[in-house]
Amino acid sequence: MSNNSTDLKKIISHCKEYGYVFPSSEIYDGLSACYDYGPFGVELKNNIKDYWWRSMVRLRLDVVGLDSSIFMHPDIWKASGHVDAFNDPLIDNKDSKKRYRADQIVENYIDKIVAKVDKEIKKAEKRFGDNFNKNQFIKTSDRVQQNLKKINETKELLNKYLADEDFRSLKKLIEDIGVVCPVSGTSNWTDIRKFNLMFSTKIGSVADQASQLYLRPETAQGIFVNFLSVQKTARMKIPFGIAQIGKSFRNEIIARQFIFRMREFEQMEMQFFVKPGQEMSWFDYWKAERKKWHNTIGFNDDVLKFHDHENLAHYANAATDIEFKFPFGFKELEGIHSRTDFDLRSHERHTNKKLQYFDSEINDHYTPYVVETSIGLDRMFLAVLCNSYKEEPIKDGIRTVLNLPPILAPFKIAILPLVKKDNLPDKSKEIYNKLKSNFSCYYEEKDSIGKRYRRQDALGTPFCVTIDHETLDNDTVTLRYRDSMDQVRISIDELIITINNKLTI
RNA sequence: GCGAGUGUAGCUCAGGGGUAGAGCACGACCUUGCCAAGGUCGGGGUCGAGGGUUCAAAUCCCUUCACUCGCUCCA
């Protein structure tokens, strides 16, 4: 385990040192769980996006793209269930792992005492018969008085703590009154947390007329609410999908593990609309399809794992995660969910508008079912880095190399004059200008050639091209491969073909 | 949120009341010329912030901020 956490630490500092990822707001002491992508990080990130978009949209006839806005009508989040599910003070029982609303378990307790008092009164009524004076009994019975006092005190405290959002006292109240979990029977409670999952903000220039908006916690809803427009304008027939890449925001209580769990993150999502009843076969199809995608990027089966969900979210009837073996264990990288028709129907209910598809094959309307694939871009970025970062023992030390798939590497080629004199820099720049429109290239003339090779290894550049005195005579260069460190002599024209071949999907 | 830990140069760290240090990195020049290793010179820090004790605080005390690591959910 210590090894694994040092692995992550090494990757984090490598990211910082080589311009991949910086802690956000660092000169102001940083901001927890926010990170910035540096000059090379942004290239890698864009390459991952591009690779995903190409596989999911451009190379398919049955998926089209969308870029919906981050701000959306606030009612969308009521329809999706995000408002209700994440706005209450919650408490977990550590033994049963059950989660309750903290206010509700106190109210249940009050109800129980109220029931006790009622029972007491009924008992007395029976005993005294017609002579029973209810008010007098309530006033004189010690037990009833005690319980009434308890009820009033508890209610008062509950309301006070809720109003003040004083969850520490509320937890103490729960412990004091001795509420136990009905499942585990213990009072081993966690602290109370209020899950404001969504970040809210205001729209409108005048504060008191402003209306509340949320930053979207997932991109999916933007796809659902555009479902009909996309289907009609792109003239799509079911089954078809809508893909989107974009930022999402979740006010996680605990956001950690570098860029694995951030409050601001980017998703690459695709919602695939199918005929009801066919969702399971499409679910299986996308499971296989997405795994293949990960394999093509160099993730072998020993670092990938499917994890089927047993407890399903409110919208799903089947769900699986593709997990990647991060230094801190197998963790979710991508989710594949069969979301049923929950979202579309819910939007239909909230808007009174039909979100249905007319299927000319069966001559009938229906609300499609949805199979979702949703991958965290930042997680994918981290997975790619974890899969690429190597410290290779070589003679006289170790070589740090990022074994990035060439198609994802920030720079494909480093162009290096062997020495910084004898016109080699000029010749190198000439070659740089020739190659730069085909490949993203890096030019570097400082330090010894060996040192520059190693720097490019650490940066993940798959090919180095070295310009020497012979180049001036016959336009041949040394092509040096990052992974094998092999070198070949090659003409500049051949070079373009060779490298192009390595970059085809 | 709770518990523990850490804040000194770009990085890794030393210094524990008396003029702010090392290695690496960085910049310039020279040298070498296909796998990080030569030389010379140089830039860079109110020691996380605020307060207190003291003639004197990076150092001792208090407060605070930030980050890291554990404990649950999610992409």
Q: What CATH number corresponds to the domain at position A361?
A: 3.30.930.10
A330 touches strand B (CB under 7 A): no
State the CB neighbour count (10 A cutoff) for residue A27. 5
Nucleotide whose C1' lies closest to the alpha carbon of residue A260: B75
In a domain, A229, yes or no: yes
pLDDT score recorded for residue A98: 61
pLDDT score recorded for residue A462: 95
Nucleotide whose C1' lies closest to the alpha carbon of residue A391: B36
A256 touches strand B (CB under 7 A): yes
Give the CATH number, domain containing residue A175: 3.30.40.230
A240 and A101 within one domain: no
In a domain, A302, yes or no: yes
Chain A 112-131, CB < 7 Å to strand B: none
pLDDT score recorded for residue A112: 81
Last residue of a domain, one of A130, A161, A196: A196
Query: In sequence order, what are the residues at sequence separation of 6 or more whose Cβ sits closer than 8 angstroms to the Cβ of residue A374?
Result: A218, A220, A267, A268, A269, A270, A334, A335, A336, A337
In a domain, A493, yes or no: yes
A447 touches strand B (CB under 7 A): yes
pLDDT digits (tens, 9 = 90+) for A446-493: 888 988 999 999 999 999 999 999 999 899 999 999 999 999 999 999
pLDDT digits (tens, 9 = 90+) for A357-383: 999 889 999 999 999 999 999 999 999
**pLDDT tier, A195 (very low <50, low <70, confident <90, very high otherwise):** low
A135 and A24 within one domain: no
State the CB neighbour count (10 A cutoff) for residue A6. 11
Q: Whole-angstrom Cα distance, residue A106 to residue A78?
A: 26
In a domain, A270, yes or no: yes
A348 and A211 within one domain: yes
pLDDT score recorded for residue A283: 95
A21 touches strand B (CB under 7 A): no
Q: Whole-angstrom Cα distance, residue A65 to residue A56?
A: 9
DSSP symbols for A235-249: T--SSEEEEEEEEEE
In a domain, A397, yes or no: no
A474 and A486 within one domain: yes
Question: Which percentage of chain A shows pLDDT scores above 70?
Answer: 90
Nucleotide whose C1' lies closest to the alpha carbon of residue A167: B1
| A106 vs A48, residue with greater confidence | A48
A358 and A270 within one domain: yes
pLDDT score recorded for residue A254: 65
In a domain, A406, yes or no: no
A27 CA, B52 C1': Å apart: 28
Q: Whole-angstrom Cα distance, residue A104 to residue A305?
A: 39
pLDDT digits (tens, 9 = 90+) for A161-177: 777 767 777 777 887 77
pLDDT digits (tens, 9 = 90+) for A338-355: 999 999 999 999 999 999
| Residue A132 belongs to domain spanning | 87-196
In a domain, A402, yes or no: no
A377 touches strand B (CB under 7 A): no
Which protein residue has its CA closest to C1' of B36?
Answer: A451
| A44 vs A173, residue with greater confidence | A44
Last residue of a domain, one of A392, A425, A441: A392
A16 touches strand B (CB under 7 A): yes
A502 CA, B33 C1': Å apart: 30
**pLDDT tier, A320 (very low <50, low <70, confident <90, very high otherwise):** very high
- ipTM, 2 decimals? 0.81
In a domain, A403, yes or no: no
How many structural domains compose chain A? 3
pLDDT score recorded for residue A369: 96
Which 3 state secondary structure label does DSSP give A90?
A: strand
A215 CA, B21 C1': Å apart: 49
DSSP symbols for A447-471: S-HHHHHHHHHHHT--EEEEE-HHH
A297 and A222 within one domain: yes
A33 touches strand B (CB under 7 A): yes
Which nucleotides along chain B are within 7 A of a protein C-beta? 1-2, 7, 10-12, 26-28, 32-37, 48, 65-75
Alpha helices in A396-442 (DSSP H): 424-435
Range of lowest pLDDT (A144-148, A233-237, A349-353, A475-479): A144-148
A30 touches strand B (CB under 7 A): yes
A352 CA, B47 C1': Å apart: 65
DSSP symbols for A105-150: HHHHHHHHHHHHHHHHHHHHHHHHGGG--HHHHHHH-HHHHHHHHH
A287 and A380 within one domain: yes
Phi-psi region of A29 (alpha: psi -120 to 50; beta: other; left: phi over 0): left
pLDDT score recorded for residue A3: 45
Say if CB A269 and CB A243 are below 8 A apart: yes
A454 touches strand B (CB under 7 A): yes
Query: In sequence order, what are the residues at sequence separation of 6 or more whose Cβ sits closer than 8 angstroms to the Cβ of residue A274?
Result: A238, A239, A282, A368, A369, A370, A371
pLDDT score recorded for residue A269: 96
Nucleotide whose C1' lies closest to the alpha carbon of residue A4: B69
**pLDDT tier, A2 (very low <50, low <70, confident <90, very high otherwise):** very low
A27 CA, B60 C1': Å apart: 29
pLDDT digits (tens, 9 = 90+) for A238-250: 999 999 999 998 8
A183 has a pLDDT exceeding 90 = no
A212 and A121 within one domain: no
A331 touches strand B (CB under 7 A): yes
A359 and A441 within one domain: no
A260 and A165 within one domain: no
Chain A 289-308, CB < 7 Å to strand B: none
DSSP symbols for A263-306: SEEEEEEEEEEE-TT-HHHHHHHHHHHHHHHHHHTT--GGGEEE
A193 touches strand B (CB under 7 A): yes
pLDDT score recorded for residue A326: 87
pLDDT score recorded for residue A358: 94
A386 touches strand B (CB under 7 A): no
Chain A 129-188, CB < 7 Å to strand B: none
Q: Whole-angstrom Cα distance, residue A76 to residue A220?
A: 11
Mean local confidence (pLDDT), A26-43: 83
A149 CA, B74 C1': Å apart: 43
pLDDT digits (tens, 9 = 90+) for A207-220: 666 688 889 999 99
Query: In sequence order, what are the residues at sequence separation of 6 or more whose Cβ sits closer than 8 angstroms to the Cβ of residue A131?
Result: none
A62 touches strand B (CB under 7 A): no
Q: Whole-angstrom Cα distance, residue A130 to residue A124?
A: 11
Instruction: Report yes or no on whether pTM surpasses 0.95.
Output: no
A78 has a pLDDT exceeding 70 = yes
A205 and A180 within one domain: no
A70 touches strand B (CB under 7 A): no
A1 has a pLDDT exceeding 50 = no
Last residue of a domain, one of A362, A392, A422: A392
Give the CATH number, domain containing residue A470: 3.40.50.800
The mean of the pLDDT values for chain A is 86
DSSP A409: -
A187 and A258 within one domain: no
Mean local confidence (pLDDT), A237-266: 86
